[in-house]
Amino acid sequence: TWVDSWRAMERLHGAGVLRAIGVSNFDEHLLRELASRAIAPVAVVQNRADPMSPETDGTLAMCRELNATFQSFSTLGRQWVASPHADYFGR
C-alpha cells in the first residue's frame, strides 16, 4: 500500500539516505490522510495539471498548508483532443 511505501521512505529519510520525499497523483483527500500519518514532511506533490483541470485547486491548497512544492505534469492538452472540449482546441 502507499502507507507501507511512505513508511519505507520515512525510514530512509531518517537514516539520511533521502533528503526529501514526496508523492505522485495524490488528491486533497489522500494528502490529508498522509499528513495525519506522516512523521517526515511531504516535500513534493506531483500531479497532472492543466487549464482544463480545476480539480487541482484543493490539492494546491493542501500543498500550501503542508508547505509542500506542487510539481505539475501534463500531456500538453493531448488528452482533450477527443473530449467534449475538443472544439476549444480547434479539433
C-alpha torsion 27→29→32→38, nearest 10: -70
Q: In whole angstroms, give the CA distance from residue 45 to residue 21.
A: 9
Three-class SS state of 77: coil
pLDDT at 58: 87
Would you place residue 57 in the very low, low, confident or very high pLDDT band (cuts 50, 70, 90)? Answer: confident
The alpha-helical segments, DSSP class H, found in 1-91 are: 2-14, 28-37, 56-66
Q: Which amino acid, residue 82? A: A
Q: Taking the model in full, what pTM does it have?
A: 0.77
Residue among 55, 89, 90 nearest 72 (CA):
55
